[in-house]
Structure 1
């Protein structure tokens, strides 16, 4: 089976022929565009003003605020992305940076079930079948609230047994991963700033 491409691999492939165009460059007031010549596919703009940076274009739009020169702020990570720290600096809070990931949810649920199995004397088979039908099948749907509701409701007691299979504190479980579009924006920022700074150094 073919391995799924990572966001970084997607980004590298889709920007292999991109070029930079500086539309405005006055101190921390900048407007820099990145695009493949002759097409607007997968293009983006980096716009900065004192204390702010906005990325916009084919990617989702995010605005960050932290330091006077935001190119300097992002450049501190030396071309690497720092999704957690950068997300804390987003000013348009309505945007999405993390999303429910069904594969992560299923892995966390099965892990918790297997941990529980170690102190149960009953066979795990009937309980796991119940878990599959009442929780794991729902987790596949891709809706976090439905999955969390199913987790909170689930319990299983086999016929003739007093042992109860159930989960606790499931609201603490992290069932999310970084959003693909947010990661792509992070890579675009890091890559774009490197291109800009390299061009300035050469000049």
Structure 2
């Protein structure tokens, strides 16, 4: 799964301009958009203990401090997606996880291959058994194309004393592209707002 870099985000918003609809203490409503174009536009709205970001790349609601600009402010545009994800307001923990992350089948396949490599290195297998084990992994687990398919195959995998007994502890998720983009949008938007207010 790919994620936007800061450089990619900055290229996306290079022509965005800030429009301030409201600026009254922690009550703010800001829009960032390229004139006459709504592509990748976004709005940041704050009120006590909350920051809401909406627009083309999705909607997120965060809650942590009375003035959420103080929570997110970063002059060097550094983001902290894991910690910030804990501050997402949602109907449930499970829904929040799905908002900012998604199952990464490529990561699961990489981990499965590494897990098998470690097992083979730590155990004495004949060349025939090692080949058979690698072939079974390739044709079973590594050929899966969907989340539920690969999970089922990993849970039920067993060959020559090898299985994925600790699979339930694997972290098989990665941040969504839009979530990382929105994190950059928040810190960049706050910086633009601060620069304008200093003038």
Question: How does the TM-score come out when normalised to structure 1?
Answer: 0.88
Q: Give 1:122 deviation, angstroms.
A: 2.5
Match status 1:155 vs 2:158:
yes
Structure 2 residue runs of 5 or longer lacking an equivalent are none
Q: Residue 66 of structure 2 aligns to a residue in which SS?
A: coil
Structure 1 residue 79 displacement after superposition: 2.1
User: What is the aligned counterpart of 1:134 among 118, 131, 140?
Assistant: 140
> 1:63 corresponds to which residue?
61
Instruction: Give SS of 1:155's match.
Output: coil
Q: Superposition RMSD on alpha carbons, in Å?
A: 1.7
Between 11-20 and 86-95, report the one with greater CA deviation: 86-95
Give the C-alpha shift of residue 6 in structure 1. 3.5
Deviating above 6 A after TM superposition, structure 1's stretches of 4 or more consecutive aligned residues are none
d(CA) in 2 for partners of 1:142 and 1:77? 40
Moved more, 78-87 or 8-17: 8-17
Question: Is the alpha carbon distance of 1:122 and 1:165 closer, same or farther for their aligned partners in structure 2, counting shifts above 3 Å?
Answer: farther
CA shift digits 1:43-70 (9 cap, x unpaired): 0000000000000011110000000000
TM-score (norm 2): 0.89
- Contact 1:59 1:185 (8 Å CA) reproduced: yes
Deviation sequence 1:24-48 (CA, Å, 0-9, x none): 1111000000001110110000000
- Cα distance, 1:128 vs structure 2: 0.7
Extract unaligned runs of 5+ from structure 1: 158-163
Shift of residue 10, structure 1, vs aligned partner: 3.1
Quick check: 1:198 aligned with 2:191?
no
> How far apart are 1:9 and its partner, in Å?
3.7
